Chains A and B, each alone.
Chain A
Amino acid sequence: MITWIIISIFTLITGMIIIINIKNRNSRIKKEQKEDIMKFLYKKSKENQKVNFESLQLFSKIKTNKLTKILEEMLKERKIKYDEDNIKLTLDGEKEAKEIIQKHRRIEKYLFEETSIDFEEIHDVAEKQEHNEEIKINTKNTYECIDPHGDIITGQETSSYPLLKIIKDIKNIEQIYKITHIEDEPKEIYKKIVCLDLSPFDYIKIKNISSNSITLLTDKGKIIELDYITAGNIFVNKEENEEITKMFEEIEKNITRITTLNELKLKEKGKIIALSFYIRGEERRRLMELGFIKGSLIEPIYNNMLGKDPRVYKIKNTMIALREEQARKIYVIRLN
Chain B
Amino acid sequence: MDCQNCKIIKNIKNFTKIDYTIALVGNPNVGKSTLFNFLTGMNVKVGNWPGKTVTKIEGFFEFKVNQEKFVFKIIDLPGVYSIFSFTPEEEITRNFLFLGSYNIAIIILDATNLEKSLVLAFQVFEVTNKVILALNLVDEAKRKGIIIDVEKLQEKLKVPIIPIIAQTGYNVDNLIYKALSIIKGEIKVNPNKYTPPPELEKIIQDIQKEITEYYPEIKNHPFLRWIILRILEGDKIIIEMIKNKNLKTVEEKIKNKPILPIL
Please encode chain B, from 67 to 105, with 1 for each CB lying within 8 Å of some chain A CB and 0 for all others: 000000000000001101011000000000000000000
Q: Which residues of A contact B113 (CB under 8 A)?
A: 316-318
Is there an interface contact between B258 and A285, defined as CB atoms closer than 8 Å? no
Q: Which residues of A contact B243 (CB under 8 A)?
A: 141
CB distance from A32 to the nearest CB of B (A): 15
The closest CB in chain A to the CB of B236 belongs to: A143
Is there an interface contact between A290 and B258, defined as CB atoms closer than 8 Å? no
Complex CA–CA separation, A218 to B147 (angstroms): 42
Q: Which residues of A contact B86 (CB under 8 A)?
A: 114, 281-282, 285-286
Interface: A115 (CB within 8 A): yes
Given A143-B234, A143-B236, A282 and B115 contact (CB-CB distance below 8 Å):
no
Ordered by A's residue number, 15 sampled pairs between the chains whose C-beta atoms are within 8 Å are A110-B260, A129-B260, A135-B260, A141-B243, A143-B234, A282-B86, A285-B86, A286-B81, A286-B86, A289-B116, A290-B116, A291-B115, A316-B115, A316-B116, A318-B116
Q: Which residues of A contact B256 (CB under 8 A)?
A: 138
Interface: B239 (CB within 8 A): yes
Please encode chain A, from 127 to 157, with 1 for each CB lying within 8 Å of some chain B CB and 0 for all others: 0110000011110010110000000000000
Complex CA–CA separation, A135 to B236 (angstroms): 16
Interface: B1 (CB within 8 A): no
Complex CA–CA separation, A114 to B236 (angstroms): 12
Q: Which residues of A contact B234 (CB under 8 A)?
A: 113, 143-144
Interface: A125 (CB within 8 A): yes
Interface: A111 (CB within 8 A): yes
Q: Which residues of A contact B40 (CB under 8 A)?
A: none
CB distance from A137 to the nearest CB of B (A): 5
Complex CA–CA separation, A113 to B257 (angstroms): 13
Q: Which residues of B contact A291 (CB under 8 A)?
A: 115-116
Complex CA–CA separation, A291 to B115 (angstroms): 9
Q: Which residues of A contact B260 (CB under 8 A)?
A: 110-111, 115, 125, 129, 135
A sample of 7 more A-B contacts (CB under 8 A), given A110-B260, A125-B260, is A111-B260, A129-B260, A129-B263, A138-B256, A286-B81, A286-B86, A318-B113
Complex CA–CA separation, A250 to B252 (angstroms): 50
The closest CB in chain B to the CB of A136 belongs to: B258
Interface: B54 (CB within 8 A): no
CB distance from B116 to the nearest CB of A (A): 6
Is there an interface contact between B263 and A125, defined as CB atoms closer than 8 Å? yes
Is there an interface contact between B87 and A282, defined as CB atoms closer than 8 Å? yes
CB distance from B179 to the nearest CB of A (A): 26
Q: Which residues of B, 14-32, contact A by the 8 Å Cβ criterion? A: none
Is there an interface contact between A289 and B119, defined as CB atoms closer than 8 Å? yes
Complex CA–CA separation, A125 to B261 (angstroms): 12
Given A291-B115, A316-B113, A317-B115, A128 and B87 contact (CB-CB distance below 8 Å):
no
Interface: B112 (CB within 8 A): yes
Instruction: Pick the residue among B84, B116, B236, B263 that contacts A285 (CB under 8 A).
Output: B84
The closest CB in chain A to the CB of B256 belongs to: A138
Please encode chain B, from 228 to 263, with 1 for each CB lying within 8 Å of some chain A CB and 0 for all others: 000000101001000100000000000010101001
Interface pairs A-B: 8 shortest CB-CB = A282-B86, A317-B113, A144-B234, A289-B81, A289-B82, A316-B115, A143-B234, A135-B258
Q: Which residues of B contact A286 (CB under 8 A)?
A: 81-82, 86
Complex CA–CA separation, A316 to B119 (angstroms): 12
Complex CA–CA separation, A113 to B256 (angstroms): 16
Please encode chain A, from 302 to 318, with 1 for each CB lying within 8 Å of some chain B CB and 0 for all others: 00000000000000111
Q: Which residues of B contact A289 (CB under 8 A)?
A: 81-82, 116, 119
Given A316-B113, A316-B115, A110 and B82 contact (CB-CB distance below 8 Å):
no
Is there an interface contact between B236 and A128, defined as CB atoms closer than 8 Å? no
Instruction: Pick the residue among B81, B84, B112, B263 that contacts A290 (CB under 8 A).
Output: B81
CB distance from B62 to the nearest CB of A (A): 37
Q: Which residues of B contact A128 (CB under 8 A)?
A: 263
Please encode chain A, from 268 to 304, with 1 for each CB lying within 8 Å of some chain B CB and 0 for all others: 0000000000000110011001110000000000000
Q: Which residues of A contact B116 (CB under 8 A)?
A: 289-291, 316-318
